[in-house]
Copies of this chain bind each other. A is one copy, B any other.
Amino acid sequence: MAGKRSLTNAHLKSLLDHQDLESLERQLTPKTSPPAKHYLPHSTVSQRRVQRFWKGMGKAPHPDLLDDWTSANAESFDGNIENCIGSVKIPLGVAGPLRVNGLYAQGDYPLPLATSEAALVASYHRGACMISAAGGCTAMLLYQAVNRSPAFAFDSIISAGRFVVWAMESFEQFQEVANGTTNHGKLVDVGTTVEGNHVYLNFEFTTGDASGQNMVTIATQAVCDFIESNCPVTIKQLYVEGNLSGDKKASAQAYTSVRGRKVSAEVLIPAHILKKYVHTTPKQMTDYWKMSAIGGVLSGTMGVHGHFANGLAALYLATGQDAACVAESAIGVTRFELTDDGDLYASVSLPSVMVGTVGGGTGLPSQKASLELMGLYGSGHSGALAEVCAGLLLGGELSIIAALATGDFTRAHRKLAR
């Protein structure tokens, strides 16, 4: 929302050269003429309903949105979308296979990546192949929990304090209530934040193999209902989420708090493999890494990395994760070191990978097919998916940093984005 004088002036000139101020202001003024009729909302998805929605918009179904496959599979979208008119087709490529030696992931994984950005799959592919050639990356799921932070307003900090005392005493009851709403989630801990007469509780849940956002919302709501009925202190306002959880937002607390799956991956790349796969040396890689780490710091990012968002978004889309979670997941630390033996040590650490292998969009047909391609659909696979995700990003960082360190970056984009 900010611009220097020269930029502001340039922008104003570009506007005012074509129109005078008065006509611009007329444009900007709310129009009291009746708006176009709202689309009649409906949440069920079926072939018939989709057709009806197009009709409601006064249009014939567009064959690139409502293609045969989508039409035939419309009911599979039920529960994942409202006002459905079809589907968007995101190109899907495969990189790898990537060898992952993890606590949960074991073996060589194909990496399905959905994107429309040229060069992305190619870049992750060469990174993954290089890692595999080096014996695979080691990946470790460090923690797992999803939080939700209901907020409570009181008349005074005195009441806020009394509430905290009561809440601490009632924690076992909160657990009972929360755990009664779900077979897979468990309320495992709670933090308290007192800000004047406001209190935020920060509930932490394990969520089984689901990403778990709905699960923790429903469980937290149940606890809030219990609090409303039982708390001896008068609560002026109560909200199931006070925006302290970091939900769908990059937040600094991700490093010290818990949101999704924390995972770290590392690999040792011998100099000769580096040379063969990405035409560079460990020293060139660490030189660039150091400079880019400081660049990231100076720009005010959280953590230091190159392009976590690219691989994350592509894998999240391919496997039916919530694409909006890219906003919170795409933070972390990439670290490159030149070893005493002249090889390259590389690691990535991600504080908040929001993935699941059940629920959400994972059961949609094409997303499920992608997970199955990896062998990671369904219960028991979320830990492995998080570890593969870290390995994928490690490969991406290796590839892009090599590209930037050697000047290949522009060449690749010039060639592949025709």
* CB pair A253 B250 closer than 8 Å: no
Q: Could you tell me the distance between the alpha carbons of A53 and B156 in the complex, rounded to whole angstroms? A: 36
* CB pair B151 A349 closer than 8 Å: no
Which of B79, B243, B288 interacts with A418 by CB under 8 Å? B79
CB contacts (< 8 Å) of A226 on chain B: these are: none
* CB pair A330 B249 closer than 8 Å: yes
* CB pair A416 B82 closer than 8 Å: yes
CB contacts (< 8 Å) of A407 on chain B: these are: 221, 240
* CB pair B99 A92 closer than 8 Å: no
Question: Dominant SS at the A interface?
Answer: mixed
Q: Could you tell me the distance between the alpha carbons of A256 and B10 in the complex, rounded to whole angstroms? A: 17
A274 at interface, CB cutoff 8 A: no
Which of B85, B156, B243, B415 interacts with A93 by CB under 8 Å? B85
CB contacts (< 8 Å) of A116 on chain B: these are: 80-81, 320, 322, 360-361, 364, 367
Which of B132, B253, B405 interacts with A36 by CB under 8 Å? B132
Query: Which residue, of A81, A221, A304, A318, has the highest number of chain B Cβ atoms within 10 A?
Result: A81
For residue A359, which residue of chain B has the nearest CB? B417
Give the oligomeric copy count: 4
A178 at interface, CB cutoff 8 A: no
* CB pair A190 B157 closer than 8 Å: no
A77 at interface, CB cutoff 8 A: yes
Q: Please, how many residues of chain A have a CB less than 8 angstroms from a CB on the other chain?
A: 219
Least distance between A196 CB and chain B CB atoms (Å): 3
Q: Could you tell me the distance between the alpha carbons of A320 and B409 in the complex, rounded to whole angstroms? A: 22
* CB pair B327 A309 closer than 8 Å: yes
Can you list 30 A-B contacts with CB-CB less than 8 angstroms, sorted by A residue number?
A5-B189, A6-B6, A7-B188, A8-B192, A12-B165, A28-B161, A35-B132, A38-B97, A41-B122, A43-B415, A73-B89, A79-B118, A80-B115, A81-B121, A89-B364, A138-B156, A153-B287, A218-B413, A243-B304, A243-B306, A246-B301, A249-B301, A252-B252, A253-B255, A255-B300, A298-B303, A300-B300, A308-B327, A309-B326, A324-B326
Query: Which residue, of A134, A202, A251, A306, has the highest number of chain B Cβ atoms within 10 A?
Result: A251
Which of B4, B287, B298 interacts with A237 by CB under 8 Å? B287
* CB pair B67 A67 closer than 8 Å: yes
* CB pair B373 A62 closer than 8 Å: yes
